[in-house]
Amino acid sequence: MKVFFALLFILKSSLQMEIIGSDEDRLTWTFKGDMATKNARSVETSVLWPSGYVPFIIDQFAGFDYYDLQIIRESAAELTFDTGTCIVFHQIDQPPPFGDPYVLITRSGGCWAALGMIGRPSMQKVSLDGDCLSSHKFVKHQLLHALGVLHEHQRRDRDRYVSIRWSNIYPGYETGFDIDWNGDVFTPYDYESIMHYPSHAYSLNGFATITRRDNGDNRRLGSAFDTTFDDIAKVKAAYRCYW
């Protein structure tokens, strides 16, 4: 699980794609980096999917090719397997009856996801556009948002571990670095988590926007090739998976 690779300077990586969205998206949601949320929140019971069951539909009009479909389905299946089926991503063909919530995986101007189960309206989006489909890691990042997982660097104890270099952040992207004071902390701070921004995320000037306070290697921030042990552990803790 903990496989690492060095990230060179990135002005706009797949985890930091500009969020565009439709006019309706802009009016309905507050974007925080690659998350869309109506309230600031982290992994908490109010946004969890009942019984960990997440039905999803892949938008047939989104233009996904064979490779795209394969990486989406594999990413969903791997998260289901890694959590010991405590979380189940289940592909369906039609929206559930009675207006029950479900995820629509589509292309909607960028790489982003609604945070947790939003309830009503019943359909919520995960947008996988551009380079987001270049790796399972990036797809899983968005699916974890859909489960209710916030960015690692936004947890309420983050200032013990990292420093945010606000003057280096590209204007308009600061909210992706805000602390979420309402979320629950289930695991030790995970520098390498796929939910952690890399050190130069949204850099305005080529300098780091996040640095480690322990003087560790900043290139390790968000560097895991796949979900880490703690990425999965926080999901299992939040959903009370006991196996």
For residue 8, is pLDDT > 60? no
Measured N-to-C along each axis, helices 229-238 and 136-147 cross at an angle, to the nearest 10 degrees, of 20
In Å, how far are 173, 235, 236, 243 from 145, measured between CA atoms? 18, 11, 14, 22
Q: Model-level pTM?
A: 0.83
pLDDT tens for each residue of 89-106: 999 999 998 889 999 999
Look up the CATH superfamily of 14-238: Collagenase (Catalytic Domain) (3.40.390.10)
Token pair 């359909």 in the structure block, residue:
123
Residue 34: the pLDDT is 61
> What does the pLDDT look like over 79-88, one tens digit per residue?
999 999 999 9
Higher pLDDT, 9 or 209: 209
- Give the list of residues 6+ apart from residue 91 with CB closer than 8 angstroms, or none: 55, 56, 57, 58, 73, 76
Q: Any idea where the domains of the chain sit in the sequence?
A: 14-238
Q: How far apart are alpha carbons 243 and 229 in whole angstroms?
A: 15
Of the pLDDT bands very low, low, confident and very high (cuts 50, 70, 90), residue 24 is very low
Question: pLDDT by residue (tens digit) across 58-83?
Answer: 999 999 999 999 999 999 999 999 99
Chain segment 116-134, per-residue pLDDT in tens: 998 876 899 999 998 899 9
> Residue 45: pLDDT above 80?
no
